[in-house]
Structure 1
Amino acid sequence: MPVADPNSPEERLKTAYNDILSDPFDEKYEDTWEEDTYWAAVESFKLKVGEIGIDDPFEILKKFNITSYQSIRDRLKAGPPACLRAGWKSPYIGTKVDPLAVVAPLKHVNGPEFNGQERVVVLDFWATWCGPCVRAGPELSDLSEKYAGRVAIVGVNNQSMFRPRDDDISVVTTFLEEHKKDFRYTIYVDNEEGHARETVYKVSEYRAIPCVIVIVEGVVTYVGGPYKEFLAALEVALDEPVAAKEE
């Protein structure tokens, strides 16, 4: 997959959007929203767009479902979904899950097939168009090798997680061939019905990708991103027994 040119108008626009209209408002939502500050930022963004040489930024931003300054404002003011706020805990934790049943209807495309022998299983929901997912690939590969025999890292790709369905198999296999050094762990592609997405990912109530779900002895112990909290949860999973929710 070609590397985007950071100096192209589209990449410069995306950078300006993040730097001026998105990142500064990460913690300014609901009661802390600053209306005047936002609209001042819009004017700064318009000036930057002019410097870049783009007439209508929404011709590009609409690819990311961004259609107007008002819609940006409404989304920022509403704040992130509950699952991305401090202190969130998935209701899925403590639930019994059979990882073999999750992957059974899926298409195996990378790494060794999952046989369910490991005590700890990590389901990694991702898509090739998701930048953070791609960046997480090398670390998940390293973990799969570091804990081989103890932890199974099982990627579950679904290109249509939040957008119209692509030709998942060909898109993913081409991507994996181009990124074989970074994606070395077991990966499956979700089926046309979105079996894994519907029965596991959506039930977890985490509304972002990458999403990793840690399953220890058939019980969910962590749901979230593949970040430091995940690494801490994985260390705990390797050493401590778990208990499922009472039915």
Structure 2
Amino acid sequence: MNFLKKVLKIISLSLLALIIAALMFIGIYSQIGNSTIKADIENYGTGLLVVVYDDEFKFAFSINGKINVSLPITEQSEIQIIYFDEALFRTTFRSRFINAYLGPDSEVILKGSADEWGVDYDVVKGNEITQQQNELRKVLQPYYIDESKLYRRSWELKDSDPNESKRLDEKLDSLSLLTVEPLRTEWAKKHLDYELSSILFLESHVSRDTASKYEELLSEHVRNSENGKRLTGMVAGWENTESGKLAPVFSSISSEGEVFKLEQVKGKYVVLDFWGSWCGVCLKGMPKMKTYFDKYKGSVAFVGIACKDEEETWRKMIEKQQLDWIQLLNNKEEVDLPTMYGVSSFPTKVILDQEGHVVFKAVGENEEFYDKLDELMKEEYLTSSQHD
């Protein structure tokens, strides 16, 4: 019995040591980076946080509502902070998020208070977009709180009353898609001198016609900003990749270290696959892409274009997924291929004909792309057979 007690004591001490080491690591790691976000939120409590940025995340702490985290920011990025347990157990939605924008070598300081359902704060120090974002957040916070209440209740009923849980999920979707998102767009229309508006016009629920119309109405200051230029480029990309248009040409270095030029695959159908190693939906669709590559590789040139990826991560994913077709890594410093092709959601697949004209553009992982490719290859086979 004494031996067992000693073993349990050793195990307990070892676990405690591991926990302490992990907490120390998180505390040190949260201070690595060139840009900083600090917050002092009354009643926010103490606990583990998840900080999301640039499709990455890191852990940090709230110590009695005081937050201090540094991030390795290379370009202006939206930051979201949420309690880890709230994200894990779906206890709140956007009403408890802390949001800001950070650029390289910058600092944002927030001060406010929290309750069970929401966080209210002001920007003590920060860039204009963070100020604008907080202004919009205060307008939408009542709706965000309603979202959180539906979100939590649906989760609580998931096992005991799945039908009611599903009904609440549908109500949440309706609130978000039919009320909150349109309100965000209407707010942007009224603030054409805000850089944040140029970001909001690129949200997925905003129609291209709306984005194109209001891009022209933005103030000169906003149009010349980083995000304004991105919106302008995206609008041009949409126009350049309309069905029947001659696709924009480009060149890039492949994963094999060779120069790839779009013109070199002229004479074949071409599939441009915009994806990312961070994109779960993209990776889920890779097995079917591999099947279609094997099926049509004699007639179709497949070109993968990884976006928002680090080179090392990109190369590892190519090897892990065994992607045997041409692979490119987008380098927006040279030419931003997603913007050139009007791509803002991933995956997006673009089919070009033998002369380089846009035939089809599929957003998301869906059967339409594969059906269209089958249809084109069937037509190509019938045409070739007739000529023979």
Give the TM-score normalised by structure 1: 0.56
In structure 1, the residue matched to 2:88 is 12
Larger Rg: 2
8 A contact 2:93–2:148 mirrored in 1: no
Inter-CA distance 132–118: structure 2 relative to 1 (3 Å threshold): farther
8 A contact 1:155–1:185 mirrored in 2: yes
- Measured after TM superposition, the shift of residue 148 of structure 1 is 1.7
Corresponding position: 1:177 with 2:327: no
Q: One-letter code of the match for 1:95?
A: K
- Measured after TM superposition, the shift of residue 230 of structure 1 is 1.2
Corresponding position: 1:82 with 2:207: yes
Inter-CA distance 127–44: structure 2 relative to 1 (3 Å threshold): same
Corresponding position: 1:212 with 2:362: no
Q: After superposition, where does 1:1-247 map in structure 2 within 5 Å? A: 9=85, 12-13=88-89, 39-46=145-152, 74-75=180-181, 78=185, 80-82=205-207, 91=239, 92=241, 93-97=243-247, 101-102=249-250, 104-109=251-256, 116=265, 119-159=268-308, 168-180=310-322, 183-193=323-333, 195-197=335-337, 201-217=338-354, 218-225=356-363, 226-238=365-377, 239=379
- Measured after TM superposition, the shift of residue 206 of structure 1 is 4.0
- Alpha-carbon distance in 2 for matches of 1:15, 1:132: 25
Unmatched segments (≥5 aa) in structure 2: 1-83, 95-140, 157-175, 186-203, 209-237, 383-388
Count, aligned residues: 175
- Measured after TM superposition, the shift of residue 17 of structure 1 is 5.7
- Measured after TM superposition, the shift of residue 172 of structure 1 is 0.5
SS of residue matched to 1:105 = strand
Q: One-letter code of the match for 1:174?
A: K
Query: More strand per residue: 1 or 2?
Result: 2
Residues 231-240 or 39-48, more deviating = 39-48
Q: One-letter code of the match for 2:205?
A: P
8 A contact 1:109–1:173 mirrored in 2: no
- Alpha-carbon distance in 2 for matches of 1:106, 1:204: 18
- Measured after TM superposition, the shift of residue 155 of structure 1 is 0.3
Structure 1's consecutive aligned runs of 4 or more residues displaced over 4 angstroms after TM superposition are 8-11, 13-18, 35-39, 46-50, 76-79
8 A contact 1:157–1:189 mirrored in 2: yes
Inter-CA distance 135–146: structure 2 relative to 1 (3 Å threshold): same
- Alpha-carbon distance in 2 for matches of 1:122, 1:195: 19
Inter-CA distance 234–49: structure 2 relative to 1 (3 Å threshold): closer
In structure 2, the residue matched to 1:4 is none
- Measured after TM superposition, the shift of residue 186 of structure 1 is 2.6
Comparing both chains, which one has the higher relative contact order based on Cα–Cα distances under 8 Å and sequence gaps of 6 or more? 1
